[in-house]
Structure 1
């Protein structure tokens, strides 16, 4: 089994390395963090090249990778002009490189981006908006933004970053986590107050639980940690209850006709395994995580691409294909579960 496991990790990593697409930089953040987990020298060199490029492209406004352009909209939006939250997805990978190399330019870039993030447009209760056209909160940024702020706070010792990381998750959860279903909706708009994309989609909830477990592990003694742990338990339990016997989660979690979806299933595997390791949920969640991981891993072909991924912006009706974030979460889940998977 160990050789099969290593072969899978090699193929999935190679797929990331061999597809260095500059489009939609935010999608690559989780892939870079996944590559970093196994400390492979070639993978680390690739990550460093991407981080160097993101820093070189950093704009005067502070956005890493100069990710300020308008995206052609799909789903419920026609235009998506990203706030600094979007390029924050590079932050954890950047700080991981900084912690290894101690290059001051990397920390300077992270701080410049954080300044842009803290100065960004917000909702009335302090949520950093996802796009500049509307006062909207997107559950994606529980992972794409909050762990960066928390890790930056750990690296610098600055409490304002630690507090902001926890605050952003709590504000998103306040508006987006349904108190009856214990699942997150995709998007909330403050004005007018409505949910322009309201389904309980698998990856949206995956972003939330993955972000929660990372923030909790980075700073377990934060004042908000107990509240974040309780939120993590509630959402993970709800996802566990909706897991198909095959191991998959459905793309829309409460739609029995929705197709199975790989990226949300892998995010659940990662978060459930990590939460069990940390003692935040019962050990049986690791068995559930293993089933989730294996059913997706068995679908990975010779090229190393993870199939059956709902493409951005998520929600009903989007096409399925392959995407960098799914590659990253396969690596992250594999790292968490390697003790069992190598047997």
Structure 2
């Protein structure tokens, strides 16, 4: 696909994301917002700020930015879900980026409240923040949702304790969720009773792990935990690569031959590989698989910019497929990284 075609597609995918008026999927929009800020088209960045402003205006009394209403009767393996700060912190990542760009102190004040909510959250015995209000659980998703916020906040406040907290949360999740035999992550671990509510290797779940690996390594600078973070993330990528379909897609359950091909995991893989190459974590010969992943999803993008074929939260088996803001976001992020490595300009 020509670079000009990719840039045109990114424009349509961005427009689709910006026209989403559903306010109760704000955590999903956080990835789209991060992508729009990364691509850095001035008009899109300006339009997307309304989402941040609205989120600050509706911030809960407990400090949580997203509409954090409990949800009952979810498909898949999670029947009830009460979001807490490990999830709602996802929106604070682009919030802080807008603060850095605008200097709007209301944004920093909102981030302060969100950080208080996170630091006051209940923890597992190992120190990991719970992933939902129903009990002591760790989900691999939440490492992606909260640790970049911790790192960015600590940099703004010039307080290294937040980086140490991010490293702790990452390490606890790896120790509890990553299978020692394969290096792949399971979705969720419940401390009481000690079990895995859904124990298959979910492709997007492993994508959360690989994406946060490259993001943290880019953000955090020198640290004794860098090798641990890099090794576990790259091991997951190498294992994922074994299951890539010849079409370029990954299946929703990554090692399930009868599972549906899923777009968001495929895009996250493309993004993670391309960024890992840029950071010197993988060799250039990995880019062929990243391009195959991106191109096969690009070929499915609708005329209105919708990225289809995304497994709807909470993920795991049995969920419907449709579109979601994080699918839009990872399309933009993957395009940015791949075009940058190919010598093309990311933003217009």
TM-score range, shorter chain: over 0.9
**Residue 259 (str. 1) matches residue 260 (str. 2):** yes
Q: 3-state SS of the aligned residue for 1:134? A: coil
> Aligned residue for 2:70?
70
Q: 3-state SS of the aligned residue for 2:85? A: coil
Q: For 2:221 and 2:112, locate their aligned partners in 1 and report how far apart those are by CA, in whole Å.
A: 23
**Residues 179-258 of structure 1: matches in 2 within 5 Å?**
179-258=180-259
Q: Are the equivalent residues in 1 in contact too, given 2:77–2:317 (CA < 8 A)? A: no
In the TM superposition, structure 1's runs of 4+ consecutive aligned residues that sit over 4 Å from their partners are none
> Aligned residue for 1:335?
336
Q: 3-state SS of the aligned residue for 1:28? A: helix
> Aligned residue for 1:149?
150
Instruction: Give the Å deviation of 1:215.
Output: 0.8
Q: Are the equivalent residues in 2 in contact too, given 1:309–1:323 (CA < 8 A)? A: yes
Normalised by the size of structure 2, how large is the TM-score? 0.95
Aligned length: 342
**Residues 1-343 of structure 1: matches in 2 within 5 Å?**
1-65=2-66, 67-74=67-74, 75-339=76-340, 340=342, 342=344
Q: Are the equivalent residues in 2 in contact too, given 1:63–1:87 (CA < 8 A)? A: yes
Q: For 2:237 and 2:268, locate their aligned partners in 1 and report how far apart those are by CA, in whole Å.
A: 11
Instruction: Give the Å deviation of 1:240.
Output: 1.3
Q: For 2:273 and 2:157, locate their aligned partners in 1 and report how far apart those are by CA, in whole Å.
A: 29
Q: 3-state SS of the aligned residue for 2:295? A: helix
Q: Are the equivalent residues in 2 in contact too, given 1:265–1:293 (CA < 8 A)? A: yes
Instruction: Give the Å deviation of 1:341.
Output: 8.3
Q: Are the equivalent residues in 1 in contact too, given 2:14–2:328 (CA < 8 A)? A: yes
Q: For 1:253 and 1:151, locate their aligned partners in 2 and report how far apart those are by CA, in whole Å.
A: 31
- Structure 1: runs of 5+ lacking an equivalent: none
Instruction: Give the Å deviation of 1:109.
Output: 1.2
Q: Are the equivalent residues in 2 in contact too, given 1:5–1:342 (CA < 8 A)? A: no
Q: For 1:287 and 1:220, locate their aligned partners in 2 and report how far apart those are by CA, in whole Å.
A: 28
Instruction: Give the Å deviation of 1:342.
Output: 4.8
Q: Are the equivalent residues in 1 in contact too, given 2:93–2:148 (CA < 8 A)? A: yes
- Structure 2: runs of 5+ lacking an equivalent: none
Q: Are the equivalent residues in 2 in contact too, given 1:2–1:341 (CA < 8 A)? A: no
Normalised by the size of structure 1, how large is the TM-score? 0.96
Report Cα offsets for 1:44-68 as digits up to 9, x if no partner: 1222111111111112211113x33
Q: Are the equivalent residues in 2 in contact too, given 1:138–1:172 (CA < 8 A)? A: yes
Q: For 2:92 and 2:242, locate their aligned partners in 1 and report how far apart those are by CA, in whole Å.
A: 33
Q: Are the equivalent residues in 2 in contact too, given 1:81–1:131 (CA < 8 A)? A: yes
Instruction: Give the Å deviation of 1:201.
Output: 0.7
Instruction: Give the Å deviation of 1:290.
Output: 1.1
Pairwise CA RMSD = 1.4
Cα pair distance change 1:12/1:341, threshold 3 Å: farther
Q: For 1:300 and 1:94, locate their aligned partners in 2 and report how far apart those are by CA, in whole Å.
A: 28
Report Cα offsets for 1:280-319 as digits up to 9, x if no partner: 1222222221111111111111011111111111111111
Instruction: Give the Å deviation of 1:24.
Output: 2.4
Q: 3-state SS of the aligned residue for 2:196? A: strand
Q: For 2:83 and 2:73, locate their aligned partners in 1 and report how far apart those are by CA, in whole Å.
A: 11
Q: For 1:20 and 1:224, locate their aligned partners in 2 and report how far apart those are by CA, in whole Å.
A: 40
Q: 3-state SS of the aligned residue for 1:155? A: helix
Q: 3-state SS of the aligned residue for 1:206? A: helix
Q: Are the equivalent residues in 1 in contact too, given 2:176–2:189 (CA < 8 A)? A: yes
